Amino acid sequence: MPDPVTAPSAQDAYDTLTRRFARMGHIANALGILGWDKDTMMPPGAADSRAESIATLSVLHHGIMTGPDMADLLAAAEPADTWQAANLREMRRLHAHAMAVPPELVEAASRAASRCEMAWRTARRDSDFASLLPYLGEVLERTREVAHAKAAALGLSPYDALLDQYDPGTRQADIDPVFERLAIELPGLISGALEHQHAHPAPTLPRGPFATTAQAALGQTMMRTVGFDMTRGRLDVSLHPFCGGAEDDVRITTRYEDDDFLNALMGVLHESGHALYEQGLPRAWHSQPVGAARGMSLHESQSLLMEMQVCRSAEFMAWAAPVIAGALGGDAQAPEWSADTLHRQVTRVHPGFIRVDADEVTYPAHILVRYEMETALINGRMALRDLPAAFNERIHALLGLRVPEDRLGCLQDIHWPSGSWGYFPTYTLGAMIAAQLREAAQKAHPGLMDDIARGDFSTLLSWLRTHVHHRASSASMRDIVRDATGAPPGPEAYLRHLRHRYCGE
């Protein structure tokens, strides 16, 4: 008779799980580098081959996660401490998501997104939504299938199932009241900010051209200043700024214009906030679920805290202005290179078409539009062919702008072509958390902004390391924010910040 199969001990089961999740983490690292290369350096002729490579690795990752004994291991494992308990909780959450989707759908969704991303590059350049429609239609169909499969398995609505992938535990029921309040507050905030701004003449800015090499060198100087470890990351160029890469290889990108250095610089500082979070995650838990960042709302809070809350402040510009002038060959004593001029420019309110270039006051309007569009598309309340007209109508209603072409409208973002449905609300949730965290950090360290005025980010970074970065996914986003600030996430600090900075209240 064959020997009976012995069930693994609780510790053996946990150890086996950590090895398997480490293997999946290594695959995710490879996917991160392949994705970065695809968006920065890959020649267009490699698109089909790259799509196959990414799809294959995605299937391998999914296959490990959904292995035949994974459920038994997850049931048998018992944690030895609180971090192991959190790790096991995250393992079970990720397994539940993965088991909800059959591998053939994972592969189909990955291929559809890769093809659509490449088609989007041409469609965006040519402002040709019709050419993207079949590719985006396939992505939407696969996304709906994933959403419904996960909704059935997890007991959620289809949109909540997608949102849970990016911000675990956050639901439409959490978002809708906040966004409804913003929709009410925004018109008054925008008009108040514009009225306050009209009392001051528009700043006279430095005139280009500004060499890309000089802008890139300036960006790297600022990355080092805020605390980015250049031995574990790099700066490159892409059509859409992003932060990606792998563990201990965090790669950020920006895009340059020879007549405007501030957009690229603020893009670098924004993505550096993301990168600092990734570089600050606990290395002892690399490649384990508990060692990952705690969702995209908290991730976006780190980029928006760095860019909007801190690096667009008068204190930061007091230090940065002469550094910027020196790097770009300007006269630090000239009015157009002054701290006041640059600060007024980076805090100038100007309703515009492009989300990534939007100011703090009008930015939430861009997110409200995208949130309305994607929830309607996922829930089947709107046909994809009607997206451009609906998008343009809502931009006009919220910002008073007439979108002249789809390149400046629904084609501007990579999120939907890449399959990232449910991501957009995390930007504004992140902006609210950023304001809340900055208030708490400043309360704990009253001299914080004096440090920033000297180009010293060490106090801020240390506070973030302790209260956000080092906690990784050991607790929920709400608990991390509550522990750091004394209150759950909410819009109050964000609205106070906007009124103070832009309306003079």
Across the range 17-37, mean pLDDT stands at 96
How far is the C-alpha of 313 from the C-alpha of 452, rounded, in Å?
9
The residue type at 140: L
Binding residues: 270, 274, 300
Across the range 407-433, mean pLDDT stands at 96
Is the pLDDT at 396 greater than 60, yes or no? yes
Across the range 495-505, mean pLDDT stands at 93
Please state, rounded to an integer, the average pLDDT across all residues of the chain: 94
Is the pLDDT at 3 greater than 80, yes or no? no
DSSP-assigned beta bridge partners for residue 257: 260
> 65-122, pLDDT tens digit by residue?
999 999 999 999 999 999 999 999 999 999 999 899 988 998 899 899 989 999 999 9
pLDDT score at 241? 87
Across the range 353-374, mean pLDDT stands at 94
SS in 3 state form for 280-319? Answer: HCCHHHCCCHHHCCCCHHHHHHHHHHHHHHHCCCHHHHHH
Beta-sheet pairing, 249-254 with 233-237: parallel
pLDDT score at 1? 45
DSSP 8-state secondary structure symbol assigned to residue 338? S
How far is the C-alpha of 292 from the C-alpha of 493, rounded, in Å?
27
> 301-352, pLDDT tens digit by residue?
999 999 999 999 999 999 999 999 999 999 999 999 999 999 999 999 999 9
Across the range 239-264, mean pLDDT stands at 93
pLDDT score at 55? 86
pTM: 0.90
How far is the C-alpha of 96 from the C-alpha of 217, rounded, in Å?
45
Across the range 420-433, mean pLDDT stands at 96
Query: Can you spell out the DSSP letters for 235-297?
Result: EEE-SS--EEEETTEEEEEE--BTTBHHHHHHHHHHHHHHHHHHHHS-GGGTTSGGGS-S-HH
Is the pLDDT at 381 greater than 60, yes or no? yes
Q: Using 50, 70 and 90 to split pLDDT, how confident is the model at 216?
A: very high
Q: Are 464 and 276 in contact (CB under 8 A)?
A: yes
Which residue's entry shows tokens 């703090």? 360
Q: Which of residues 357 and 427 earns the better pLDDT score?
A: 427
How far is the C-alpha of 244 from the C-alpha of 26, rounded, in Å?
14
Annotated active-site positions, please? 271
pLDDT score at 4? 53
Is the pLDDT at 456 greater than 70, yes or no? yes
SS in 3 state form for 355-410? Answer: HHHCCCCCHHHHHHHHHHHHHHHHCCCCCHHHHHHHHHHHHHHHHCCCCCCHHHCC
> 46-70, pLDDT tens digit by residue?
988 998 999 899 889 989 999 999 9
Q: What residues contact residue 172 under an 8 Å CB cut-off, 6+ apart? A: 157, 159, 160, 163, 375
pLDDT score at 199? 87
> 130-176, pLDDT tens digit by residue?
999 999 999 999 999 999 999 999 999 999 999 999 999 999 999 99
170 HSE (CA, 13 A, CB side): 29
Binding residues for Zn(2+): 270, 274, 300
- The rounded percent of the chain whose pLDDT value lies above 90 is 90
